[in-house]
Amino acid sequence: MGKRAKPPPPGVPEWIVTYGDLMSLLLCFFILLAAFSELKKPDEYQKVIDAIQEAFGAEGGDSVIFDPAHPTSLEDIIAQGIEQRTNTKPSKSDTNDRTTVGEDQSTSTLFDGRRWTIGKAMPFAPAEFELSEDNKQIIRELIAPRIHGSDKMFLVLGHAWGADDKLGGMDPIELSYKRARAVHEFLVKDCEVDPTALSLWVAGATQPLKLDAGAGAGGSNRRVEVFMTDTPLAEVNPDAAGTGRDG
């Protein structure tokens, strides 16, 4: 009869502890790799390098590549590192500007943030720009109440579309403008909306909702939309009340 095998000693084997430590170190290593790959700003990367150096007891926060063929004193290394950091040009990702500034510093991009449709789109008959009673009702009940009391800028955007819109002899840009202007004037004159809160824009035939040739395509493309932006009125028009002061 064979001898029974001896039971293993109690407790966790020593190799398990070592294996667990190795796996933990590998996990930390890959986490650091993933974190470093997401760094886009050189100055933030330099801060991480400096923190690692200080954690391991390195003196100074700046560093340069050391060339054994040309020995350099510690003071020179620190001075070179400071000079390199001072002369580093900021990257494109370092900008926090909200708008895009051109060569003329007095100009910038407006309404580059989000915008929301208020009410609903107002359709127009082919080649027409006069407001229908349905469109007037949309403006009175759905659009004008959202503008009253708001401190945001609003866009009135006109559209045109198709051969039917050319029957009146106007090109899409001109017809889009007349439609947007009709909505603008109704908001100001009949609904008593502050004209400084409105910006009139024209899309022409460049932003159709439907491209198919169905009967309903033209009706949805011949429209005017009103958008609310997240741009404060005071930012675009600091003297909206017409006091004659700039601020």
pTM of the model: 0.52
Dig out the tokens for 176 from the structure.
């889009």
Residue 246 within any structural domain of the chain: no
What pLDDT is attached to residue 231? 86
- Residue 170's domain is classified under what CATH number? 3.30.1330.60
Number of domains in the chain: 2
Side chain identity at residue 40, one-letter code: K
Dig out the tokens for 90 from the structure.
């900021």
Residue 2 within any structural domain of the chain: no
Side chain identity at residue 61, one-letter code: G
139 with 45, same domain: the answer is: no
Q: From 45, 68, 87, give the residue that closes a domain.
A: 87
148 with 226, same domain: the answer is: yes
76 with 161, same domain: the answer is: no
Write out pLDDT tens, residues 155-182.
999 999 888 888 888 989 999 999 999 9
- For the ranges 3-12, 130-139, 158-167, 234-243, the maximum mean pLDDT occurs at 130-139
- For the ranges 5-9, 13-17, 150-154, the maximum mean pLDDT occurs at 150-154
Residue 64 has pLDDT above 90, yes or no: no
Write out pLDDT tens, residues 25-58.
999 988 888 877 665 566 676 777 777 777 776 5
Residue 72 within any structural domain of the chain: yes
Write out pLDDT tens, residues 115-148.
888 888 999 999 899 999 999 999 999 999 999 9
What pLDDT is attached to residue 176? 93
156 with 207, same domain: the answer is: yes
Residue 221 within any structural domain of the chain: yes
* Maximal CA-CA distance, the chain: 112
129 with 188, same domain: the answer is: yes
229 with 130, same domain: the answer is: yes
What pLDDT is attached to residue 61? 47
Residue 126 within any structural domain of the chain: yes
229 with 133, same domain: the answer is: yes
Residue 238 has pLDDT above 70, yes or no: no
81 with 124, same domain: the answer is: no
149 with 214, same domain: the answer is: yes
Residue 29 within any structural domain of the chain: yes
The model's confidence at residue 189, banded by pLDDT at 50, 70 and 90, is: very high
Q: From 71, 87, 103, give the residue that closes a domain.
A: 87
What pLDDT is attached to residue 52? 78
143 with 55, same domain: the answer is: no
Question: What is the Cα–Cα distance from 71 to 74, expressed in whole angstroms?
Answer: 10
What pLDDT is attached to residue 192? 93
Residue 140 within any structural domain of the chain: yes
136 with 230, same domain: the answer is: yes
Coil/strand/helix, residue 76: helix
Question: What is the Cα–Cα distance from 224 to 182, expressed in whole angstroms?
Answer: 10
152 with 196, same domain: the answer is: yes
No. of helices (H) and no. of strands (E), the chain: 8, 5
Least Cα distance to 109 among 241, 229, 227 occurs for 229
Provide the residue range defining the domain that includes 30. 15-87
Write out pLDDT tens, residues 68-79.
555 555 556 556
Write out pLDDT tens, residues 88-120.
555 554 555 555 555 555 545 555 567 888 888
What pLDDT is attached to residue 158? 93
